[in-house]
Structure 1
Amino acid sequence: MEHYKFFQNRECEYFPCHKTDNPEDFNCLFCYCPLYCLGDKCGGNFKYTESGVKSCVDCLRPHIRENYSEITGQLGDVMKLIEKNKSDNL
């Protein structure tokens, strides 16, 4: 069944927080994308604003029900980045 891979909060005042043709399949589990910190290596549909801020307003990757394994599969890259940042700050 794997129900842990999908969560939806229709009571959220921002639901859905991205434009979608399939709100019934909109996954809120990764409300804040755990891959944001990977910058241009996140694999999502992002762009940088004129001021250089990464904007994910057009990205649905973490909100697609079937992408759970893809997202969690990249968490090792996030952990490597965390370790690198820790060692850089010593």
Structure 2
Amino acid sequence: MSENYKFFSHKECEYFPCHKTNDSDNFNCLFCYCPLYALKDKCGGNFKYTDSGIKDCSNCGLPHKRDNYDYIIGKFKDIINITKKYD
């Protein structure tokens, strides 16, 4: 079975690559906006918080690595849990 759905590279994008990379052939644009951002310090990426408390992901390549599709999809349950309304 083909797994082409796990990788998309948009080299004609005016922002490509949006993060520093030494391997633009394997730069995955599928998660252009990282779905793990909302997980704060539980995302698993290389981020830092600015002095004003904003999460800065500019040094993170986690969602853009070809092999990280399954990792990101595996975190969706955590994303759902943070959006649940608890009584």
When the two structures are superposed, what TM-score results if normalisation uses the length of structure 1? 0.92
1:61 is matched with 62
Equivalent residue number for residue 22 of structure 2 = 21
Q: Show structure 1 runs of 5+ residues with no match.
A: none
Aligned match of 1:51: 52
Distance in 2, Cα, partners of 1:79 & 1:11: 33
- Give the number of aligned pairs: 86
Q: CA deviation at 1:53?
A: 0.3
Greater helix proportion: 1
The Cα RMSD (Å) is 1.0
The percent identity for this pair of structures is 60
What residue identity is the alignment partner of 1:52?
G
- Output the CA distance in 2 between the equivalents of 1:40 and 1:56: 11
Return the TM-score normalized by structure 2: 0.95
**C-alpha distance in structure 2 between counterparts of 1:71 and 1:41, whole Å:** 12
Match of 1:76? 77
Q: Deviations over 1:19-70 (max 9, x none)?
A: 0000010000000000100000000000001111000000000000001000
The CA deviation at 1:11 is 1.3
Structure 1 SS opposite 2:31: coil
| Distance in 2 between residues matched to 1:77 and 1:13, nearest whole Å | 32
